[in-house]
Amino acid sequence: MSNPEHPRAPQPPAPQPATSGAFSGDFNLASLVGEVVEAEPVSAQCPACHLHALVAVRLVRDDDGRWRQLDEDEEEEHDARAAGDDAAIGEKRSMLLDTCPVCFGAWFDAGELDLIGDVEVDPELLRTALGDAAARRCPRGHGPMLEHKIPELVRTPIERCATCKGVWLDGDERRKLALASTKEGQGDRKRQLTRRGVIWAAQLVTQLPVEVENPARGTPRIVYALLFIELAGFLLSVAGVFLYRHWSVIAGLIKQEPLHVYTLFTHQFFHANWLHLLGNAYFLYIFGDNVEHMFGRLRFLILFFGAGIFGGALHVLLTRATGTPVIGASGAIAGVMAAYLLTFPNAKLFQLIPFTPIQLKIPAWVYLGVWVLFQTVMALFSAAIDYAWFSHLGGFLFGFGMTPLVLRWRRRQVAREVKVPAAPYAR
């Protein structure tokens, strides 16, 4: 959220010892939002989820006054043009926002909210909103931020740094603020005024894209490779080069002949028909790229095949259909889905209500929670015992167990790569 191309940008204040305790002393609006600092993008670990360094996202204001995010091509074009374009900076038609691509939280440097939002603030209200020291730390290195409690709008406190006056908003806080500001016409006058006062952030947020999307960076090579291998396996078995029966998991056979345990690995490369293959490929594609980005290639491969093998093993142990051959990457992909659930629980997915044109936008945790429930119920009670419910559940369990370990590793890793790590990852 800055304009690095702005000449002679003053530097943000030097890091100071952690500030703690309640905010005190007189202040006016200027003291709250501070001076406008055209700051460099931060180099900080996300203070909320700790899973990613904050990433600068370029936003531009269109002619109709709405802010939107530039895509990558436009960004290059913008950079090429921006060099000589002082007018754009003067009118605040362009800004950099430091956001977290995992949890969608965003860091607003001092004055940025106010500049763009053009909102009047009721100082009395904000005085009462000032709160205690928060656990989260300022991305500019000023130690713990202060919590602002604004219960009229959001239940969770909003964090602000008393030193540099920057504000941190969580992804869901930004959504709720945006929502609240659209209901301003409702309620009595006092309530409206209250809202007006705290909307210093909300109005801004409605103008910005609420979900600053920052999809997985880099090419998900492992996902593409797996998609290719799955397609090749399917085509080769259709062509008769491989007879998938030889490579499929047959529970009864493994129990009799432990040698057949290799099928726990090989059954993942074959599918029964196009529908089976395309369904799996679709889920691998939409969930896999983000998970690969977070895990790294090797860990992603371990997740994928580990989940597939573990799922196959659970199927062998628990299924009632001991003679049915099982093939498919469903168990492995269930592991990827578990990883996605734990890493991006609040990411929004679009889902059509079956047999209707109605499209719902639901959080990943709801979607995947329903999925797990369905698999469990079917595994325990379904008459369709030929379906490998237990291998799906097993794969999901594997992902559920492995992901917290990977995320812990990743938080340490991110802390090492940035200037300002989030507590408690001291260097």
Interface positions with Zn ion (CB under 5 A): 46, 48-49, 100, 102-103, 105, 138, 140, 142, 161, 163-164
Q: How far apart are CA 319 and CA 299, in angstroms?
A: 29
Measured from the CB atom, is 61 or 137 closer to Zn ion? Answer: 137
Measured from the CB atom, is 382 or 413 closer to Zn ion? Answer: 413
- DSSP one-letter code for 53: B
Minimum CB–partner distance for residue 141 and Zn ion (Å): 7
Q: How far apart are CA 336 and CA 287, in angstroms?
A: 7
Minimum CB–partner distance for residue 189 and Zn ion (Å): 36
Measured from the CB atom, is 48 or 341 closer to Zn ion? Answer: 48
Q: How far apart are CA 181 and CA 119, in angstroms?
A: 12
- Radius of gyration (Cα) for the chain, nearest Å? 26
257 is written with which tokens?
A: 């002949």
Minimum CB–partner distance for residue 425 and Zn ion (Å): 14
**Is residue 45 classed as helix, strand or coil in its secondary structure?**
strand
Minimum CB–partner distance for residue 211 and Zn ion (Å): 13
What does residue 368 show for φ and ψ, rounded to 5 degrees? -75, -25
Q: How far apart are CA 151 and CA 50, in angstroms?
A: 25
Minimum CB–partner distance for residue 220 and Zn ion (Å): 20
* Nearest by Cα to 177 from 169, 166, 185: 169
Q: How far apart are CA 290 and CA 339, in angstroms?
A: 10
Measured from the CB atom, is 161 or 222 closer to Zn ion? Answer: 161
Q: How far apart are CA 103 and CA 427, in angstroms?
A: 23
* Nearest by Cα to 293 from 225, 213, 216: 216
Q: How far apart are CA 260 and CA 222, in angstroms?
A: 27
Handedness of CA 297, 300, 304, 306 (dihedral sign): positive
Measured from the CB atom, is 138 or 333 closer to Zn ion? Answer: 138
**What's the residue count for the chain?**
427
Minimum CB–partner distance for residue 71 and Zn ion (Å): 21
Measured from the CB atom, is 147 or 230 closer to Zn ion? Answer: 147
Minimum CB–partner distance for residue 171 and Zn ion (Å): 8
Minimum CB–partner distance for residue 116 and Zn ion (Å): 19
Measured from the CB atom, is 138 or 347 closer to Zn ion? Answer: 138
Measured from the CB atom, is 136 or 392 closer to Zn ion? Answer: 136
* Nearest by Cα to 62 from 207, 204, 181: 207
